Amino acid sequence: MDAMRPDTPAAHTTEAERLLRTAARYPGDREPLLLRAAAHRELAGDRPGATALYDELLAGTPAAPHLIRALKAANLWEYGHEAEARAIIDGVRRSRPADAAPWEIVAETLEAHDELEAAEATLTEAAGLLADPAGELPHATRSLLATRHRVRRMLALDHDAWDTRADRLHTGTVPLDELHDPKRLWSLGSSDPAELQAEIARLRSELGTYRTALSRPFPVAVLHWPERELTELLAAYPPLETEYPTYTAHLTDIEASLRELAAAGTPNLGIVRATVPSYEAFAASEATHPSTPALLPQYATTLAARARALPWPPLPPEDCWCGSERAYGECHGAE
């Protein structure tokens, strides 16, 4: 169910190569796969190689050019190309993208290099453009407001309306004001066990919030087989009946698994819709028989890497993920 997270440079290089091979087989999913490969190259320390992938994407007609430029700028600055990174960041800001992710990436790049005033100005500009004062905010915009809150606390600025809204939207157990208090740095040098324990709790909460806000998530994806697809799958591969005894049980297991993962603090949860032809093609590419249960989580991970995951949970008024055409809050999202 969970996507593999390599933790050594060699493993990241191997994963990048696997994603590039997958992109060659599935050209329709080339952009998200190359972005994932670039992220792995960065984690492997191959920053020039990551830049090459960003340039390859920008040479075409990418679906998310502002995001790619923002990621490229962040990468370039990390290996000594500050002037080029700044020029790209200025270009992204002038373009005024309608998506929060590019804004947040360039602001965090500025913040990482002690350009706090520029980061705050970037995030404020983005909030004015994207954060509807009255409407429901998507997750990416809520994340942007939380990042802005942190930067403003570091600058010792008074709360404004956007900070108040970020506080209200924050769902963690530790309030944003406490998480983002610059004085917390002093507590890390304390010899008082109680103070250190309290700081560890705050850091854990902050880490969970930050992971959720990552613009390049490695989602934990759960497979959803629509009823017709599941019937076809089990007719063709009976050994998988142990995984899916009934369609109703399958839907119940999806919601229960995701709620359990959420309760454990797992971020970036998603659902990927499976089809038998796609699954069979994946099994063939892995030289594994489709009736092998261990292949199912690998299939889910690959679909997620191809940007096929739908974020979970939906907002209560939105349609339920199961396809019932009922609101999530009245279907699987009901208590």
At 172, which CATH number?
1.25.40.10
How far from 60 is each of 27, 51, 222, CA to CA, in Å?
13, 15, 32
Q: Across residues 108-118, what is the average pLDDT?
A: 92
Residues 263 and 173 reside in one and the same domain: no
Residues 109 and 188 reside in one and the same domain: yes
pTM exceeding 0.85 = no
Burial class of residue 244 (count of CB atoms within 10 Å of its CB; 0-12, 13-18, 19+): middle
Residues 147 and 275 reside in one and the same domain: no
Residue 40 within any structural domain of the chain: no
Per-residue pLDDT of 5-15, as tens digits, reads 446 888 889 88
With a cut of 70, say whether residue 158 has pLDDT above it.
yes
- 52-61, 178-187, 218-227, 268-277 — which is least confidently predicted? 178-187
- Using an 8 Å Cβ cutoff, are 226 and 276 in contact? no
Residues 242 and 298 reside in one and the same domain: yes
Q: Which of 162, 192, 213 is the last residue of a domain?
A: 213
For residue 295, the enclosing domain spans 220-330
Per-residue pLDDT of 36-73, as tens digits, reads 899 989 989 999 999 999 999 999 999 899 999 999 99
Q: Across residues 300-329, what is the average pLDDT?
A: 86
The residues near 312 (Cβ < 8 Å, ≥ 6 apart) are: 222, 258, 269, 270, 271, 321
Residues 208 and 71 reside in one and the same domain: yes
Q: Across residues 153-162, what is the average pLDDT?
A: 90
The mean pLDDT value of the chain amounts to 85
Q: Across residues 111-136, what is the average pLDDT?
A: 92
Count of all residues that appear for the chain in the document: 335
In whole angstroms, give the CA distance from residue 178 to residue 201. 11
Q: Across residues 133-148, what is the average pLDDT?
A: 88
Res. 206 pLDDT band, cuts 50 70 90 = low
The DSSP code sequence of 202-266 is: HHHHHHHHHHHH-SS---EEEEE--HHHHHHHHHH-GGGGGT-S-HHHHHHHHHHHHHHHHHTT-
Residues 241 and 191 reside in one and the same domain: no
What was the pLDDT predicted at 208? 55
What was the pLDDT predicted at 190? 60
Residues 153 and 287 reside in one and the same domain: no
% of residues, the chain, pLDDT over 90: 50
Say how far residue 168 (Cα) sits from the centre of its chain: 22
Q: Across residues 185-204, what is the average pLDDT?
A: 64
Q: Which of 153, 186, 213 is the last residue of a domain?
A: 213
Residues 245 and 163 reside in one and the same domain: no
With a cut of 60, say whether residue 2 has pLDDT above it.
no
Residue 32 within any structural domain of the chain: no
Residue 93 within any structural domain of the chain: yes
With a cut of 90, say whether residue 181 has pLDDT above it.
no
With a cut of 80, say whether residue 162 has pLDDT above it.
yes
- Using an 8 Å Cβ cutoff, are 148 and 166 in contact? yes
Burial class of residue 27 (count of CB atoms within 10 Å of its CB; 0-12, 13-18, 19+): exposed
Residue 112 within any structural domain of the chain: yes
Res. 216 pLDDT band, cuts 50 70 90 = very low
How many domains does the structure of the chain reveal? 2
Q: Which of 213, 234, 251 is the last residue of a domain?
A: 213
Residues 175 and 71 reside in one and the same domain: yes
